[in-house]
Amino acid sequence: MLALALACASFGVASAEEAATEQPVAPIDLLPPGQEVSDTVTELAGWVVASRDSEGYPFAIIDKAAAQILVFGGDGRLRGAAPGLFGSAVGDHAAPGVAGLALREIPGRDRTTPAGRFVGGFGPSIDAGRVLWVDYDSAVSMHPTATGVPAEKRPERLASPSPDDNRVTHGCINVAPEFYTQIIAPTFERGGLFYILPDTASLAETFPEFVQSRATAQHDDRKRGRSAQQ
């Protein structure tokens, strides 16, 4: 079960008083049956909580390769997981000036969803009203999937059990309307953080503090293992 797979990400976050008075709400799991969450995602979620990197704000971890979006509350508890649609081009950096272009003007090679740590929130847009900006500077937002261009078959791609057909947007992130309404919108009403895993860049380049922390933990584990054998 998804909740069990990510237990380490939220374990020990709530205080004893909170645990005694609040019953955790079961997270909404819209991932295809049998689809696993990677160890990297689980470890990154655990690090965000343990290091308080999100400073108590809700956060999402977005795995482009697996086409997965996992959402956590400010208390570190998993709220939901669902598939997503991403930029049609493989890449981790926004092209210079792309935010000032109309969608039809963005070259195919520049239709990327950038990787990294982003502080986002709801705000106005020129042509779509109030939107959830993941990264305002590169004009990447998260919004519910619409029919849009029928030939793109975005709802069908989102419903597909394979992540291989989830690269279709101009760079923005699409989720199912029900997931957006029930999880995304209320969780990020006051803003939050978005951690987007890279396509081709290294984890060390994208999340250096996380990688350093993981390397330190692995080193300490090896030292404890050697001591136990002596």
Say if 105 falls within a structural domain: no
Q: Identify the domain containing residue 169 by its residue range.
A: 2-14+23-93+110-222
How much is the mean pLDDT over the chain? 86
Is there a domain that residue 228 lies in? no
Domain tally, the chain: 1
Mean pLDDT of 22-51: 89
**Residue 73: inside a domain:** yes
Q: What is the pLDDT of residue 202?
A: 96
* Single-letter amino acid code for the residue at 63: D
Q: How far apart are CA 200 and CA 99, in angstroms?
A: 22
pLDDT at 13: 43
Average pLDDT over residues 167-185: 95
Would the pLDDT of 8 be above 80? Answer: no
Judge whether 209 lies within some domain: yes
Q: Flag whether pLDDT at 151 surpasses 90.
A: no
Per residue in 189-230, pLDDT tens?
A: 999 999 999 999 999 999 999 999 998 877 555 656 555 566
CATH number at residue 201: 2.40.440.10
Better-scored residue on pLDDT, 16 or 106: 106
Position 21 pLDDT exceeds 50: no
Question: What is the pLDDT, as a whole number, of residue 196?
Answer: 98
Over residues 38-60, the mean pLDDT reads: 96
Higher pLDDT, 23 or 63: 63
Q: Which residue has the higher pLDDT, 138 or 16?
A: 138
Q: 103-112: long-range contacts (C-beta < 8 A, 24 or more apart)? A: 103/170, 106/170, 106/171, 110/171, 111/87, 111/169, 111/170, 111/171, 112/87, 112/171, 112/199
Mean pLDDT of 1-24: 43
pLDDT number for residue 226:
55
In angstroms, rounded to a whole number, what is the distance separating the alpha carbons of residues 159 and 176?
9
Q: Is residue 229 part of a domain?
A: no
Residue 37 lies in a domain: yes
In a domain, 27, yes or no: yes
Specify if 123 maps to a domain.
yes
pLDDT tens per residue, range 81-109: 999 999 999 999 988 888 888 888 898 89
